[in-house]
């Protein structure tokens, strides 16, 4: 297969169609067993669908890792009005680039997953909330939705089952915070993307005030396979608590960057040195951010023996998040990259909560001062102190996310900070 | 298949922008195949099936700041958008997107007109519009160039790429070049981190861009446009 880099240790379930233009079409998707999952779901009934997804142990791929089947079972069993399914295609966590690939290579996989989930939770309308910048990708998905309508797979009386589900491809307008589930709902409703205070949870009051479920693109993409082949089948990969396969987005200083689909629990070092080909000549590992910008740093010692499943990464002091593995070699200026990350969060903070709005700005200013060689050692204490005050004190976890890389980098790369503070010298170049 | 060999050195002119890592060995698809153009086909002016209408807007090179909201096929798209949401407010973002496709930016006047269409106050529409970064509050050049400088790209030289764009267009960050062609901005992670540096030009992604690719890319835009 031509997809930029593939590796023999990959297990390509969701990414099977990557690099194959034919898979975009309905016909092409059907040659890979497409819509067998939907057909089967309509036969076995929605309770069985939820049970099967529960049995598979599938956990949300949007970052939090919440069990998907359990989430679906929170929806009211008795319908009193519309239910909505929201597909979170707002991928914007720095380091993450899997949903875009899933959407542009296998749009029908996304749509089939949406339809099965919508059926399971009795939703009559699916909104695929696509990131605004994805003009090209969104058109691919939108064309596939149109194809699904033409083939009677979406819209009224799907495949003669009497079930009707509409699908709409909605395009956002550029705001990271709209990836947060309740901010996404606000945004879909035509408001500013301000996260809501929970409870009430979306299963009670979600989009347009109605019970709603929200799932990440990758989560939904796993569903058709689970329904077609069974929950046990999915458990042949991964660990007891983190079953299945996962797309790992590897970026930064490795020889081969890209998406690699691997069983959960894959050793981080094998990913770096075997699958991704290690570092350039003469370079060595300095740090890894294993789950996108929102999670704490791992240093080289932490990486030794780290397995890539939700529990394995927590054991090493970080989080798997969306499995966005950002790799930094020994030429990296950690302080600069932390400052760049904090700038991102400062820019994307919605401004509702004081610790987040003020905290991100202060972190950024102090870090910039240190980066310029004008910081003091007390600044480091201030940063950690500020970071702690920003953790667990706000409506959503963006604030915690901004603090995590700051606190963990000061803990693990204190010498880099001290070199700048004491001698005005950055340890790495970029 | 096991690992592929390291690709040839990057060409200085990235016209064969493959839409992802431009220089990987065994990669033999056409650009249209990678981007999905062939599959999507031409976009019907009326928006096609209503399910796609809200995702339709594009960033176009040609902008008509005084175009009416909305007439002809644009009116049809507008009505299809309304049909997909339980209330008028839900249609606000897609309608603003549509207005921006047509006019190139969202002026105070556009906010007022959109508000009037959907029964929302000026202040409300302004509040929403200013929240989202993709709404241009003032006119932009024929090509809106957005360079990702977030961490994954930054580690691989994004600052140099941004600098190259500024230098070669002779413009300041956020400003439009004197010939009206280029507006250069920084953008947050474009979700193409494996293919650094990622650059978005109007509605299109250019990936694996190095500072050395920039002059050729700009020349290509000048001569042949970006669509
Ligand atoms: C600040 C913030 C940004 C988020 N961005 C995204 C995102 O871009 N895509 C996504 O799928 N989930 C994102 N999430 C997670 C969602 O809130 C939500 O947990 C997820 O979509 C649920 O789907 P899942 O159960 O399938 O993982 C974000 C969360 C936060 C707090
Ligand atoms: S934590 Fe930050 S982003 Fe989240 S709701 Fe509060 S201010 Fe907004
Ligand atoms: S960091 Fe540049 S695209 Fe993600």
CATH number for the domain harbouring residue A271? 3.10.20.600
- Residue A132, classified by CB atoms within 10 Å of its CB into exposed (0-12), middle (13-18) or buried (19+), is buried
| Band of pLDDT at residue B18, cut at 50, 70 and 90 | low
Instruction: Please check whether residues A387 and A357 belong to one and the same domain.
Output: yes
For residue A249, give the 3-state DSSP assignment: strand
Question: Nearest-CA residue of chain B relative to A428?
Answer: B155
Local structure of B205: helix, strand or coil: strand
**Inter-residue contact A207 to A200 (CB < 8 Å):** no
Among B107, B131, B155, give the residue marking a domain's end: B131
* pLDDT at residue A302 tops 90: yes
Q: Residue A411 sits in a domain of what CATH number?
A: 1.20.1440.230
Q: Is the pLDDT of residue A342 over 90?
A: yes
Is residue A275 in some structural domain? yes
Single out the residue in B64, B97, B131 at which a domain terminates: B131
CATH number at residue A139: 3.40.50.11540
Nearest to A197 by CA among A401, A396, A62, A397: A396
Regarding whether A82 and A186 lie in a shared domain, the answer is: yes
Q: How many folded domains does chain A comprise?
A: 3
Ligand 3 pocket check for B152: Cβ under 6 Å: yes
Report whether the peptide linkage leading into residue B197 is cis, meaning its omega lies within 30 degrees of zero. Answer: yes
**Is B75 part of the contact surface with chain A (CB cutoff 8 Å)?**
no
Confidence (pLDDT) at B7: 36
Q: Residue B123, Cβ neighbours under 10 Å: how many?
A: 10
CA B9 to each of CA A41, A242, B6, B12, B193: distance values in angstroms, whole numbers, following the listed order: 49, 40, 9, 9, 20
Cis peptide bond upstream of A127, omega within 30: no
Given pLDDT bands bounded at 50, 70 and 90, which one contains residue B19? low
**ipTM of the complex in this document:** 0.94
Write out pLDDT tens, residues A392-423. 999 999 999 999 999 999 999 999 999 999 99
Q: What angle do CA A160, A163, A167 make, to 5 degrees?
A: 110
- Same domain membership, residue B150 and residue B122: no
Q: Domain tally for chain B?
A: 2
- Within chain A, what is the greatest distance between any pair of CA atoms? 74
pLDDT at site B1? 32
Reported as a pLDDT band with limits 50, 70 and 90, residue B8 is very low
Averaged pLDDT for residues A36-47: 98
Distance CA A108, CA A90 (A): 18
Assess whether B86 and B107 both reside in one domain.
Answer: yes
What is the pTM for the complete model shown? 0.95
Which residue range forms the structural domain that includes residue B194?
A: 143-225
pLDDT at residue B13 greater than cutoff 70: no
Domain interval for residue A393: 334-423
- Tell which one of A390, A395, A402 to mutate to probe ligand 2, the residue whose CB is within 8 A of the most ligand atoms: A395
Residues of B whose CB is below 8 A from A179: none
pLDDT band of residue B10 (cuts 50, 70, 90) is very low
Q: Take residue A384 and report the two structure tokens written for it.
A: 């950690």
Is B24 exposed, middle or buried, given 0-12, 13-18 or 19+ CB atoms closer than 10 A? buried
Phi and psi for A62 in degrees, rounded to 5?
-80, -5
- Domain contains A4: no
Task: Tally A–B CB contacts below 8 A.
Answer: 232
Percent of chain B exceeding pLDDT 90 equals 72
pLDDT of residue B2 exceeding 60, the answer is no
């Amino acid at each position: 297969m031509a997809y930029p880099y593939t590796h023999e240790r990959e297990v390509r379930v969701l990414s099977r169609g990557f690099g194959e233009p034919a898979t975009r079409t309905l016909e092409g998707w059907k040659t890979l067993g497409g819509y067998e999952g939907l057909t089967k779901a309509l036969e076995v009934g929605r309770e069985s669908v939820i049970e099967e997804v529960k049995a598979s142990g599938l956990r949300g791929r949007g970052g939090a890792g919440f069990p998907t089947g359990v989430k679906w079972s929170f929806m009211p069993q008795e319908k009193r009005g519309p239910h909505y399914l929201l597909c979170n295609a707002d991928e914007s966590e720095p380091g993450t680039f899997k949903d875009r690939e899933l959407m542009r290579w296998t749009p029908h996989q996304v749509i089939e997953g949406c339809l099965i989930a919508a059926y399971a939770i009795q939703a009559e309308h699916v909104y695929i909330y696509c990131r605004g910048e994805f003009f090209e990708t969104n058109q691919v998905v939108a064309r596939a939705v149109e194809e699904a309508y033409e083939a009677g797979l979406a819209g009224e009386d799907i495949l003669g089952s009497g079930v009707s589900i509409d699908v709409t491809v909605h395009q956002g307008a550029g705001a990271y915070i709209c990836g947060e589930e309740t901010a996404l709902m606000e945004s879909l409703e035509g408001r500013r993307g301000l996260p809501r205070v929970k409870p009430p949870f979306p299963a009670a009051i979600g989009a347009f005030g109605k019970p709603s479920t929200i799932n990440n693109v990758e989560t939904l993409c796993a569903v058709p396979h689970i329904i077609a082949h069974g929950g046990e089948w999915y458990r042949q990969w991964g660990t007891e608590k983190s079953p299945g396969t996962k797309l790992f987005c590897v970026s930064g200083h490795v020889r081969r960057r890209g998406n690699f689909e691997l069983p959960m629990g894959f050793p981080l070092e094998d990913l770096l040195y075997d699958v991704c080909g290690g570092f350039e000549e003469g370079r060595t590992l300095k740090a890894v951010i294993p789950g996108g910008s929102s999670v704490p740093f791992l240093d080289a010692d932490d990486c030794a023996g780290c397995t890539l499943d939700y529990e394995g990464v927590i054991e090493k002091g970080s989080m798997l998040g969306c499995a966005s593995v950002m790799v930094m070699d020994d030429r990296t200026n950690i302080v600069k990259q932390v400052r760049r990350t904090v700038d991102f969060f400062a820019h994307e903070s919605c401004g509702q909560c004081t610790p987040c709005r003020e905290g991100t700005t202060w972190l950024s200013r102090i870090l910039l001062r240190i980066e310029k060689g004008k910081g003091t050692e007390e600044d480091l204490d201030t940063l950690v102190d500020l970071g702690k005050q920003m953790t667990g004190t706000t409506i959503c976890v963006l604030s915690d996310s901004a603090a995590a890389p700051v606190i963990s980098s000061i803990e693990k790369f204190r010498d880099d900070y001290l070199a700048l503070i004491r001698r005005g010298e950055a340890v790495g170049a970029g | 298949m096991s690992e592929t060999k390291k690709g040839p050195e990057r060409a200085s002119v990235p016209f064969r922008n493959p839409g992802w890592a431009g220089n990987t060995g065994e990669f033999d698809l056409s650009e249209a195949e990678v981007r999905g153009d062939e599959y999507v086909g031409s976009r019907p002016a009326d928006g096609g099936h209503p399910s796609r209408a809200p995702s339709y807007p594009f960033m176009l090179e040609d902008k008509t700041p005084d175009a009416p909201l909305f007439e002809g096929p644009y009116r049809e798209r507008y009505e299809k958008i309304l049909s997909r949401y339980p209330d008028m407010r839900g249609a606000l973002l897609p309608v603003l997107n549509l207005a921006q496709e047509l006019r190139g930016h969202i002026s105070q006047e556009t906010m007022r007109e959109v508000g009037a269409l959907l029964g929302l106050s000026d202040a409300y529409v302004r509040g929403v519009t200013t929240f989202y970064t993709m709404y241009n509050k003032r006119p932009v050049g024929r090509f809106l160039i957005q360079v990702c400088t977030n961490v994954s790209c930054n580690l691989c030289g994004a600052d140099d790429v941004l600098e190259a764009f500024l230098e070669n267009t002779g413009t300041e960050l956020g400003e439009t070049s004197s010939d009206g062609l280029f507006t250069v901005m920084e953008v947050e992670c474009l979700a193409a981190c494996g293919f650094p540096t990622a650059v978005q030009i109007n509605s299109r992604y250019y990936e694996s861009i190095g500072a050395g690719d920039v002059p050729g890319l700009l020349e290509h835009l000048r001569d042949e446009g970006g669509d």
